[in-house]
Amino acid sequence: MIYLDKKEAEKILFTKFNFRKFEDNQWNTIGKLLNGERVLFIEKRNYDKSICYKYASIILNGITIVFTPFISTIEKQLQKIKTKTVQANYIYSKQTIEERNHILQEVKQGLWKLLYISPESIHDNELFESILSLSISLVVVEESHCISIWGHDFRRDFKKKVINFVVQLPKELPVLAITSTVTKRVEKDLFRLLEKSKDQTNIGFTKKSIIKGDLLHENFKLFVIKVNSEDEKMIWIAQNIDKFPGTGLLYTGCQLKSDKYTKWFKFLGISCFNKNNCFETEQSEVNVDYLIEDNLKCIVSADEKDIPIEAIDFPFIFHVHVPLSLLHYYQDISRAGKNDDTAYIILFYNENCDNDKSMTLINECFPPISIYENMIEILKSNPLSEVEIIQHLNIDRKQFLKIKEELCEKGIIKENFIDQNSKYEFIIDSQPLNFKKIDELREYKIAELNKMIDYANAESSRTQLLHEYLNTNTIKTNFKNCDNTSEKKLIFNLKDGYNDIFKKFLELYPNNSLY
C-alpha cells in the first residue's frame, strides 16, 4: 500500500495538473487504486474522473494502460495532458506494426507513463502478449458501460478484448472502470466483471469498491412538449429557438431526420451545423473550430457517439425522437450545463408515432427469438446467402446482421465461400443457443423503453424519476426544476404566418415532410 499525505499530494496535483485540490471522490478513488483495489467509479459527465488514473500513474511504478472504445476519447485525453508533465502515448488501428512496436519499446525504456489503447488495434496474439508483458501498474477502462450487455451502448468486441486482458492480470493489480451512465443492473454487471483475474481460485476475494457521486444536474430545467405530428416539432422549434441562449444541440435519432432539420434551419436562415456529416469528412479540425463560433445557433446530430464536441457547454438540448431508454436520454442531455449555468432540456413527444418508431428500433437491435429459430432451421437444410436469408425470413438487414453476429460468435453457423459466393451454413453438433438469455435481454430493453415513455407521460417530478432510475447518491428529495413542478409548461401553438412558411419549405423540398 502506498500512503499519500493529502496536502503534499495536492502540491503535486497543482504542479502537474494545475488543480489546487482533489474532490472527495477523486481522492478516495486514488487511495483505493494505490491500495491495489479494483474500483468502479461512477460520476456525472462533466466531473473529471480521468484525473484519478492520471495522478495515480505518476505515483505508481510502471505503465498505466487505458482502454477506450472511442478514438475521440483518446484525442480528448491527450489534448488535456498535452501541456502537463505526464508522458502519454497511444496505440490505435491505423498505426503500422512498426509504429506500435516502436511505442512499446519506448514504454519498456520508461519514456511513457500512460498508454491509451483502442481495442480494435489488438487484432493479433503477438501484440496482445506484448502489451500484457509490460510492467503494468494500473489498468483503466474508460466508458466501461460499453462492456455490459445491459448498458445503453454495448460493444461486443470492446468487451471481449478488455475482459480477455483483465482476466490475465494478477488479482492484486488495480483496475479502474469509469462511467457516467449506469443503471442498477449495469452497475452490478460491471462490478462482477471487476473481480476477474488469472488467479481463478481467488475469485470473490479481489478487493473491489464502487464509488458513486451525485449524478443529477440541478441546473437542468426539464420539459416535455407533446405534439400531434412531426411537422409540429419543426414548427415549434422554428418559432422559439431564438429565445434560447447560445449554441444548442438537437438530437434527431437518425441521419435522414438530421438532414431534414438542417435544410429547415437553413431555409429559415438559422445558423446550424449537421455534425454527423461533418465528421465523416477530413475537415473535422476546421469544423470543430467553427462549432464554437458565437453565431452558430444549433448543432444537429443523429446521436451523440464518438463526436469530439466535448468543449462546448450547451445551454439547451432538444430531442425530436424518443431515446430507447432513460439511460440513453441521460447520456445525451449530460452534454448540457457543464459550467453549472441553467440548461433547458426539451423532449418533443408525438404519442401517435414515436412509440412505434422506438419499438421498431428495439426489433432491429433485439430481434424476437422466433427469427433466430427460423434462421437456424432454414440453414439446417441448405447454405444460403445474406440476400436469400433476408428474403426467406422477410426481415431487414439490421436484424440479419444482429442475428448473424450472435450465431457466428456462438459457433452455431459459419460463413463459407461457395463458388466464390458468401454463404452461411449450420454447424452440425453445435451447442444450442441460450434463447432464455436472448429473450431476457429483449424484455429488459422493452422495459427500458417503457420507462422512457413513462418519463414523457409523467405528471410528477421528472427529476425525481431520473433520480430513482439512476439510483444516484443525493440527499435532496424535493425537486422543482421541471414542467410538472415549478416550471411553466411548454405547448405547441401555431403562430400567424408559420403555416405558410412551412408550406413554402415543403414546396422547395417536397420530400421533407416528416408526417
CATH of the domain at 37: 3.40.50.300
- Whether residues 300 and 177 share a domain: the answer is no
Query: Maximum distance among all alpha carbons in the chain?
Result: 73
Give me the pLDDT at residue 22, please: 95
Average pLDDT over residues 324-346: 91
Number of domains composing the chain = 2
- Whether residues 284 and 192 share a domain: the answer is no
* Greatest mean pLDDT among 82-86, 168-172, 216-220, 371-375: 371-375
- Of 99-108, 286-295, 496-505, give the lowest mean pLDDT range: 286-295
Confidence of residue 283 (pLDDT cuts 50, 70, 90): very low
**Using CA atoms, how far apart are residues 122 and 127, in angstroms rounded to an integer?**
6
- Whether residues 228 and 97 share a domain: the answer is no
For the chain, how many helices (H) and strands (E)? 20, 15
Q: Which three cell numbers stand for residue 17?
A: 495538473
- Whether residues 195 and 274 share a domain: the answer is no
Average pLDDT over residues 38-47: 90
- Whether residues 84 and 135 share a domain: the answer is yes
In terms of Cα–Cα distance, which of 374, 17, 39, 9 is closest to 195?
39
**Using CA atoms, how far apart are residues 448 and 325, in angstroms rounded to an integer?**
5
Helices 24-34 and 51-59, packing angle to 10 deg: 40
* Structural domain that includes position 318: 220-353+475-508
**Using CA atoms, how far apart are residues 385 and 357, in angstroms rounded to an integer?**
29
Average pLDDT over residues 180-205: 75
Is residue 148 within 8 Å of 192, Cβ to Cβ?
A: no
Average pLDDT over residues 405-417: 93
Q: Please check whether residue 371 lies inside any domain of the structure.
A: no
- Whether residues 194 and 232 share a domain: the answer is no
Residue 242: DSSP 8-state: G
- Whether residues 208 and 224 share a domain: the answer is no
432451421: which residue's cell? 377
- Whether residues 204 and 238 share a domain: the answer is no
Is residue 380 within 8 Å of 387, Cβ to Cβ?
A: no
Instruction: Report pTM.
Output: 0.87
Q: Are strands 413-418 and 421-426 parallel, antiparallel or unpaired?
A: antiparallel
Q: Please check whether residue 439 lies inside any domain of the structure.
A: no
Q: What are phi and psi of 48, to 5 degrees?
A: -80, 90
In the Cβ-directed half-sphere of 432, how many Cα atoms lie within 13 Å? 5
- Whether residues 202 and 224 share a domain: the answer is no
Q: Which three cell numbers stand for residue 266?
A: 437553413
Q: How far is C-alpha 254 from the chain's CA centre?
A: 16
Is the pLDDT reported for residue 307 higher than 60?
Answer: no
Is residue 247 within 8 Å of 299, Cβ to Cβ?
A: yes
Is the pLDDT reported for residue 76 higher than 90?
Answer: no
End-to-end alpha carbon distance in the chain: 63
Q: 255-268: per-residue pLDDT in tens?
A: 899 999 999 999 99
- Whether residues 73 and 187 share a domain: the answer is yes
**Using CA atoms, how far apart are residues 144 and 69, in angstroms rounded to an integer?**
9
In terms of Cα–Cα distance, which of 73, 81, 88 is closest to 19?
81
